[in-house]
Amino acid sequence: MGALAFEYPEEITATLGALDGFIRAEILTRHEKHADLLADSRRKYTPDGRFSPEVWEIIGEVRKASAEAGFYAMSVPEHLGGGGMGLLAYFAAWEYISRLCGPRHWLSYYIISHWAKGPSPVLAEASPRLRDEILPGIMNGDKTMCFALSEPEAGSDAAGIRTRAVQEGEGWRLTGGKIWISNSVHADYAIVFAVTDPDKAAARKGGISAFLIPTDAEGYTLESTIKMWGQSGTVEGQLKFENIRVEPHQLIGELDNGFKLAMLGVGLGRMYNSARAVGYSRWALNEAFEHIKLRKTFGKPISTNQGVTFPLAESAMQIHAAHLMAINVAQLLDRGQAASKELAMTKCFAADAAKQCVDRCIQAFGAMGFTNEMFLTDAYIAMRKITIADGSAEILRRLISKRMLDGDMAL
């Protein structure tokens, strides 16, 4: 018996069933086949933190197999060659992947194209020439991208970027730098946001444009990789641009109106992170409840102790609420409503609840919860990250309150 009165449409239900088969055939088998490699951080990563060539090849195999099976670009618009499924399907698929695989079978992270790293609606405004040049490799999983928006002095205040694209003939010269750019350590292309009209940008009335830059372009440098949480590996990098020549066809969307494109990407990220929050939390709760039924202290299962079960029950309530919120906002967005307030509420609530949920599950395991074999600390790190990624908890609360101050009191 399910916990929701809502039922996914038949198309989504069928997709989830097919996805289950793909995970078992392509993900679980690869983890089993390459268990020694994937468990050894010295072989998994290069000294600077990038995936080793062996591991990156396996990841590429997953992307390509998924593209062939129709999952990788399932929510990319049909006119770009994707499946055209909406955000409800996107949420449902990511939640299912996260719940079934957890962080233990992390190759599943590459089944569906992440909006910033592969094909997504963001590319809908690319020029015909640019689509012809990059889409085949992006759509089949052979090539990847990164989304270069954040800067050292422009994180939450994304409109305050300083990277510049100065007009030169029909094109531009791009100069500046970016930081915290996911997948920049491996990407073949970068969508770079730069100021093209300083006066408009200073007045917060546009003046920012988006360009697609090959990462092997002259003047493009991966300045450093950024390791976090004491981990050996990273997908985050710092980029430097020195007088890169940008041609007119590399502009994505309208000149001086790229910030709208940036917010489209961030919105997709909020939906994606809400799905991961619900999925990882359900995975962790399942692990915890199975454990507390078996673990005994003082001759009794620890499940008889309210001090153990009540915190888990509270998290279950919160994750159930987050699940309902996400399904609701996905449908609003699929209907064409802006729903920025509701999306901010969902992502903020889901991320906070997931972080606390995984922490409580670790507590239920005691010291065992800290071990690498349980992967609960991996889940915690992932959930802690998403309280900042694609809009921090503070920025989202600011957005919610601003919408309400402006008169949007619908709840």
pLDDT computed for residue 1 by the predictor: 57
In a domain, 242, yes or no: yes
In a domain, 187, yes or no: yes
pLDDT computed for residue 244 by the predictor: 98
Q: Is 320 exposed, middle or buried (CB count within 10 Å of its CB: 0-12, 13-18, 19+)?
A: middle
pLDDT computed for residue 48 by the predictor: 95
In a domain, 385, yes or no: yes
CATH of the domain at 229: 2.40.110.10
Asked if residue 229 and residue 268 are part of one domain, the reply reads no
Asked if residue 382 and residue 303 are part of one domain, the reply reads yes
Asked if residue 155 and residue 53 are part of one domain, the reply reads no
Domain stop point among 100, 118, 136: 118
Asked if residue 392 and residue 269 are part of one domain, the reply reads yes
Query: Which amino acid appears at position 85 of this protein?
Result: M
In a domain, 97, yes or no: yes
Asked if residue 275 and residue 237 are part of one domain, the reply reads no
Asked if residue 248 and residue 157 are part of one domain, the reply reads yes
pLDDT tens string, the chain, 411 residues long: the values are 578 999 999 999 999 999 999 999 999 999 999 999 998 999 999 999 999 999 999 999 999 999 999 999 999 999 999 999 999 999 999 999 999 999 999 999 999 998 889 998 889 999 999 999 999 999 999 999 999 999 998 877 777 899 999 999 999 999 999 999 999 999 999 999 999 999 999 898 999 999 999 999 999 999 999 999 999 999 999 999 999 999 999 999 999 999 888 888 889 999 999 999 999 999 999 999 999 999 999 999 999 999 999 999 999 999 999 999 999 999 999 999 999 999 999 999 999 999 999 999 999 999 999 999 999 999 999 999 999 999 999 999 999 999 999 999 999
> For 292, phi and psi rounded to 5 degrees?
-70, -20
In a domain, 168, yes or no: yes
CATH of the domain at 317: 1.20.140.10
Asked if residue 356 and residue 331 are part of one domain, the reply reads yes
Domain housing 91: 10-118
In a domain, 296, yes or no: yes
Asked if residue 289 and residue 242 are part of one domain, the reply reads no
Asked if residue 151 and residue 75 are part of one domain, the reply reads no
In a domain, 170, yes or no: yes
Asked if residue 392 and residue 360 are part of one domain, the reply reads yes
Domain stop point among 101, 118, 135: 118
Asked if residue 153 and residue 27 are part of one domain, the reply reads no
**Residue 187 tokens, joined:** 């990407």
pLDDT computed for residue 160 by the predictor: 85
Domain stop point among 252, 284, 316: 252
pLDDT computed for residue 263 by the predictor: 87
Number of domains present in the structure of the chain: 3
pLDDT computed for residue 104 by the predictor: 97
Asked if residue 362 and residue 380 are part of one domain, the reply reads yes
In a domain, 90, yes or no: yes
pLDDT computed for residue 268 by the predictor: 92
**Residue 154 tokens, joined:** 């422009």
